[in-house]
Structure 1
Amino acid sequence: MSVKREVHPGTAYSFGKRRASSAWMDRLFTGTVWGVGIIVILFIVGLLFLLLQKGLPMLSWDFLYGVPSEIEEGGGIGPALFNSFYVLILSLLISIPIGLAAGIYLAEFAPNNKLIEVVRICVEGLSSVPSIIFGLFGIALFVEYFEIGLTILGAAVSLAFLNLPVLTRVTEESVRAVPTELRNGSFALGATHLQTIGQVVLPVALNGIMTGICLTAGRAFGESAVIILTAGVSTSGEMWDFNLLSPGGTLAVHLWYIQSEAIVPDAEQIAQKSTAVLIFVVLLINILFRVPLWFNSRKNQM
């Protein structure tokens, strides 16, 4: 015997009203998100256009390979641009292995106790410390303690210290985000913990890790405070100077110097062109670091 339930007209009206209100709120939220996203994109595009519209058309190979001039116009940014890449590569060679190892240890091997929690808090705190503090640390270590002066070596190591906390935290969070089922499946097939990390965990966490490396690389390339305090504002004057004890003024430092203290007649044009090169290289670094992610995603889809 079936029992028929009668729905009160007021209940049906209330349900329909709530449903219509929810649909309206959903459309409002969706429209708001789209609007904010479009505004942000337009702001970024407009900002890039304002920064590149004057400097980008004036770029030439003579400017990119030329030696900076102190008095006469027509100087280039060759040594400063080379130092930027040189210091960046050295700092990444130091910070990436240590940062990845520290992040993997905190995520996979570190015991869950108060000491490790204090370490995590310290790492998070160092991630938000102003870069000038790391520059002062570089002065105290390389200039005053080791007495080697303002050098590329001091700038690279100081930048590595600046990048380490961010890389450690990004690596730890990326590894922790890997589903536990993948680890259990690897263990069930007989893999060791080390094999599971190398063949299962790290490939899945690669997107987050590469994003962290990309962010730190872009930050290091455009860093000026640390470089000014540890490598100086000048260069050796040679285009391909690999001496670690040479002065290491980078492109960002050169841009700051041109805008604040330079007396060359074409300082404004040099600043505009240097800005265009700096932005273009940072965008190029982001694209290059995304290439492994594209190959990894295509490999997973096949």
Structure 2
Amino acid sequence: MTTQTQILRSKARKRAKTADKVATVVIIVFALSIVAILLGLIGFIMFRGLGHISWHFLTSNPQTIREGGGIGPPLFNSLYLLVLTMIITIPLGLGGGIYMSEYAKPGKITSFIRLVVEVLSSFPSIVIGLFGLLVFVNTFEMGFSLLAGALALTIFNLPLMVRITEQAFSGVPREQKEAGLALGLSKWKIITSIMLPVAIPSLVTGTILAAGRVFGEAAALLFTSGMTTPPLNFSDWNPLHPRSPLNPLRPAETLATHIWKVNSEGLAPDAIQIAAGASAVLVIMVLLFNLFARWGGRTLYRYMTASKRMN
């Protein structure tokens, strides 16, 4: 009986090892497939577009029917729109995340707020664009403008920022909060002096990743910031001047919408080359955002860890 039991156990161990090997191989194949798809997509875009990138291409104005156009204004509009969006998104996202993590009490209201955040994060960007068209462009009479686009992208990006902030503050060790309470510190003092320095690396990483999403968005901007850019006077940086690059109430064609417009209209003889070069620039910018997010998060984490050890 003992010998038969040992044989059965041996067979069971062999089956378990075989299943473990099969599962490991399947997981590795899936992981390598994802990497291959990503590298193939990036390689294809770079192969088609890198040869068309030059200083003239990055700084010159687009051309509608003539060849030789560049992406200077759309590239500037994308960066400026990114700044406007994050100026609005970061305070709202930090406030909402801190409230959900530290002030909101468990209950139906808190659960409803979390449900609203989750539903908002799953909205298609085209729907947010239509909402921005109806509310910001038409109702508030902002017209097609950078400000309307920034507000629409804030709605698009706010759920991500709230979740990142909530998770960053929830990840702070409970002992540190209790130590602050034992010292008689107020709740706001604990948040700003104890929890915020610990959460900063995660907040910075999440903020940069959210900024990368904003930089590559197109659908919501088609209905809010517009698909044209007026002639800009880069010697006049007065934000109140209609032709100033910093005027937030002017229409602005971003890099992503410019790619869509060039591919859909295709009036210029070199439209395919322009779209390929612009796509490569957009992919490079998104990759730089992601790499900078990882590097910045790790650097801040090491700095915070070293500061704790010194103290």
TM over 0.5: yes
- After TM superposition, give the deviation of residue 37 of structure 1 in Å: 1.2
Secondary structure of 1:54's aligned partner: helix
What is the aligned partner in structure 2 of residue 28 from structure 1? 22
What is the aligned partner in structure 2 of residue 260 from structure 1? 264
> How many residues matched?
296
- Which residue of the other structure, out of 105, 108, 114, is the alignment partner of 2:108? 114
Distance change (3 Å), C-alpha of 1:25 and 1:248: same
Decide which moves more: 200-209 or 225-234: 200-209
Q: TM-score, normalised by structure 1?
A: 0.90
- Which residue of the other structure, out of 247, 257, 277, is the alignment partner of 2:281? 277
> Is the CA contact 1:210–1:290 (under 8 Å) kept in the aligned structure 2?
no
What 5-or-longer segments of structure 2 have no aligned partner?
A: 235-244, 307-311
Q: Using the alignment, how far apart are the partners of 1:280 and 1:178 within structure 2?
A: 34
- After TM superposition, give the deviation of residue 296 of structure 1 in Å: 2.1
Q: Using the alignment, how far apart are the partners of 1:119 and 1:297 within structure 2?
A: 30
* Matched letter for residue 236 of structure 1: P
- Which residue of the other structure, out of 91, 114, 117, is the alignment partner of 1:97? 91
Q: Using the alignment, how far apart are the partners of 1:53 and 1:171 within structure 2?
A: 38
- Which residue of the other structure, out of 146, 166, 177, is the alignment partner of 1:172? 166
- After TM superposition, give the deviation of residue 258 of structure 1 in Å: 0.2
What is the aligned partner in structure 2 of residue 4 from structure 1? none
Decide which moves more: 138-147 or 252-261: 138-147
Secondary structure of 1:230's aligned partner: coil
Matches of residues 137-216 of structure 1 in structure 2 within 5 Å?
Answer: 137-188=131-182, 190-216=184-210
Secondary structure of 1:125's aligned partner: helix
Residue 54 (1) aligns with residue 48 (2): yes
Q: Using the alignment, how far apart are the partners of 1:130 and 1:260 within structure 2?
A: 21
Q: Using the alignment, how far apart are the partners of 1:224 and 1:36 within structure 2?
A: 30
User: Which digits, 9 at most, give the CA deviation of each residue in 1:195-228, with x for residues without a partner?
Assistant: 4323443344445434432332122111112211
Distance change (3 Å), C-alpha of 1:199 and 1:22: farther
Q: Using the alignment, how far apart are the partners of 2:184 and 2:4 within structure 1?
A: 62
Q: Using the alignment, how far apart are the partners of 1:164 and 1:174 within structure 2?
A: 15
Q: TM-score, normalised by structure 2?
A: 0.87
Q: Using the alignment, how far apart are the partners of 2:110 and 2:153 within structure 1?
A: 25
Q: Using the alignment, how far apart are the partners of 1:296 and 1:79 within structure 2?
A: 34
RMSD: 2.1
What is the aligned partner in structure 2 of residue 295 from structure 1? 299
What is the aligned partner in structure 1 of residue 247 from structure 2? 243
- After TM superposition, give the deviation of residue 270 of structure 1 in Å: 0.3
- After TM superposition, give the deviation of residue 111 of structure 1 in Å: 1.7
- After TM superposition, give the deviation of residue 24 of structure 1 in Å: 2.7
Of all paired residues, the percent bearing the same amino acid is 39
- Which residue of the other structure, out of 63, 66, 76, is the alignment partner of 1:72? 66
